[in-house]
């Protein structure tokens, strides 16, 4: 079947075999200038620079392009995306490419703690501040001084915590719980959420002033169902990680297995994919995973939206560039198209 052939070709590319690269389309420039880096070369650079972010789709390329631009600054970054898409990887990539890379990146899951514990976790506490506070404790902001703090699930914090966090963003200082001495810190803030913060602001459950403080630069981490062409590379990367943990040879994916996985909506995104691969590799007999190795999971698979069904093969089917696809001063290195409600939409 056609999708099998396309996914097999993409899998071979992820395994560094010889596969013709996507067709590059040069955009004429108004004045002589250095030729822009090809899409293939750009993704190869990104793979080395951001080894934990897998994928060669336009959606992933857009994310890495934003990381390139913001890593060198101290701008607050808000990473948005569904659970399991890899928002934490974006925070790590930004930190590792910044001038703060030699300092710590401190991570806090804001949804994992109740309000009182979260305030103590973020800002620390003084001895005797509450029952059980037998000694002074530094908070995550102090521990991240000079580095980066990653506030995951920022949309889950209480109104009281929102007020305390807003002060840190505005004044770069806070007091420990039970303390009165202001503590100044120098930290880069990266926050993440799967929630619709704009809707929460309209509903009055999230402070508008805090939202606009957090929304310095927004990075949208795409759902897996919106970048199915990355399945071969993601599977290769995840299977390699699984094999390394188990001290065994990495398994590979057959075309029919990739075709089957591409028929699922992946509501749990990359995290769900990893769990499926971990289970399948435990019971597979051979070195190559076939569709039969995913039979138990296929019973619960959800079909993706019709307009996304061809995305897995879109990368290898470039079409004629429509007039007006890009402004003359915008370099166009590669165009990839997908069928969306009967039309053609540029992805890159």
State yes or no: pLDDT of 71 exceeds 80.
yes
Domain extents for the chain?
52-220, 224-301
User: CATH code for 52-220?
Assistant: 3.40.50.300
Give percent above pLDDT 90 in the chain. 63
Return the residue matching tokens 């995104």: 269
> Binning pLDDT at 50, 70 and 90, where does residue 331 land?
very low
Q: How far is CA 341 from CA 3, 18, 248, in A?
A: 19, 34, 44
Segment 109-165, tens digit of pLDDT = 999 988 889 999 999 999 888 888 889 899 999 999 999 999 999 999 999 999 999
Per-residue pLDDT at 87: 97
Instruction: Please indicate whether residue 40 or residue 139 has the higher confidence score (pLDDT).
Output: 139
Cα first-last separation, the chain: 27
Say yes or no to pLDDT of 17 above 50: no
Which pLDDT value is given to residue 326?
39
Q: What is the pLDDT of residue 21?
A: 46
The packing angle between helices 87-96 and 58-70, to 10°, is 40
The residue-averaged pLDDT of 192-217 equals 96
- Model pTM? 0.76
Residue 341 has pLDDT above 80, yes or no: no
pLDDT attached to residue 187: 96
Q: Find the largest Cα–Cα distance for the chain.
A: 70
Confidence (pLDDT) at 195? 97
Q: For all residues of the chain together, what is the average pLDDT?
A: 82
130 Cβ contact partners less than 8 Å away, ≥ 6 residues apart? 116, 120, 177, 178
Left, alpha or beta for 86 (phi > 0: left; psi -120 to 50: alpha)? left
pLDDT at 301: 84
Q: Is residue 142 packed enough to be buried (19+ CB in 10 Å), middle (13-18) or exposed (0-12)?
A: middle
* Cβ atoms within 10 Å, residue 28: 6
What whole-number distance in Å separates Cα of residue 178 and Cα of residue 127? Answer: 8
Q: How far apart are CA 287 and CA 284, in angstroms?
A: 8
Are 166 and 125 a contacting pair, CB within 8 Å?
A: no
Q: What per-residue confidence (pLDDT) applies to 45?
A: 86
If you search the block for the tokens 């996914």, which residue do you land on?
Answer: 7
Residue-wise DSSP of 216-252: SEEEEPPPGGG-GGGHHHHHHHHHHHHHHHHTSPPPE
Question: Which residues face 149 on adjacent strands?
Answer: 106, 189
- Higher pLDDT: 83 or 296? It is 83
Residue from 175, 179, 121, 181 nearest 151 by CA:
121
Binning pLDDT at 50, 70 and 90, where does residue 243 land? very high
> Comparing 11 with 273, which gets the higher pLDDT?
273
Four-residue CA torsion sign, 70, 73, 75, 76: positive
* pLDDT above 50: residue 344: no
CATH class, 224-301 region:
mainly alpha
Q: How many CB atoms lie within 10 A of CB 54?
A: 20
pLDDT digits (tens, 9 = 90+) for 291-315: 999 998 888 888 776 555 444 444 3
Query: 252 is written with which tokens?
Result: 């590979």
Give the chain's radius of gyration (CA, Å): 23
**pLDDT band, residue 18 (cuts 50/70/90):** very low
Query: Is the CB of residue 123 less than 8 Å from the CB of residue 174?
Result: yes
Q: For residue range 47-68, what is the model confidence (pLDDT) as tens digits?
A: 888 888 999 999 999 999 999 9
Both tokens of 231, joined, read 């399945």
Cross-strand partners of 145: none
């Amino acid at each position: 079947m056609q999708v099998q052939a396309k996914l097999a070709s993409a899998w071979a590319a992820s395994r560094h075999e010889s596969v013709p690269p996507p067709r590059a389309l040069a955009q004429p420039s108004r004045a002589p200038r250095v030729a822009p880096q090809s899409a293939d070369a750009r993704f190869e650079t990104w793979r080395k620079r951001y080894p934990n972010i897998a994928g060669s789709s336009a959606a992933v390329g857009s994310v890495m392009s934003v990381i390139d631009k913001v890593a060198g600054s101290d701008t607050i970054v808000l990473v948005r995306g569904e659970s399991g898409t890899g928002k934490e990887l974006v925070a790590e990539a930004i930190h590792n490419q910044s001038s703060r890379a030699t300092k710590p990146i401190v991570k806090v899951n804001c949804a994992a703690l109740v309000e009182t514990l979260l305030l103590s976790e973020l800002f620390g506490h003084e001895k005797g501040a509450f029952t059980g506070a037998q000694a002074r404790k530094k908070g995550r902001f102090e521990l991240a001084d000079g580095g980066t703090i990653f506030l995951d699930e920022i949309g889950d914090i209480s109104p009281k915590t929102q007020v305390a966090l807003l002060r840190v963003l505005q004044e770069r200082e806070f007091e420990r719980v039970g303390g009165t001495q202001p503590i100044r810190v120098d930290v880069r803030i990266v926050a993440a959420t799967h929630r619709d913060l704009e809707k929460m602001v309209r509903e009055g459950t999230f402070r508008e002033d805090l939202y606009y403080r957090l929304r310095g630069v927004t990075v949208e981490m795409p759902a897996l169902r919106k970048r199915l062409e990355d399945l071969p590379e993601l599977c290769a990367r995840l299977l390699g990680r699984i094999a390394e943990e188990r001290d065994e040879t990495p398994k590979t994916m057959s075309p029919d297995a990739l075709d089957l996985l591409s028929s699922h909506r992946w509501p749990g995104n990359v995290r769900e994919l990893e769990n499926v691969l971990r289970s399948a590799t435990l019971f597979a007999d051979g070195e190559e995973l076939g569709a039969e190795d995913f039979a138990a999971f296929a019973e619960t698979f959800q079909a993706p939206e019709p307009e996304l069904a061809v995305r897995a093969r879109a990368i290898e089917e470039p079409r004629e560039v429509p007039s007006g696809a890009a402004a003359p001063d915008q370099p166009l290195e590669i165009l990839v198209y997908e069928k969306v409600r009967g039309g053609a939409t540029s992805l890159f």
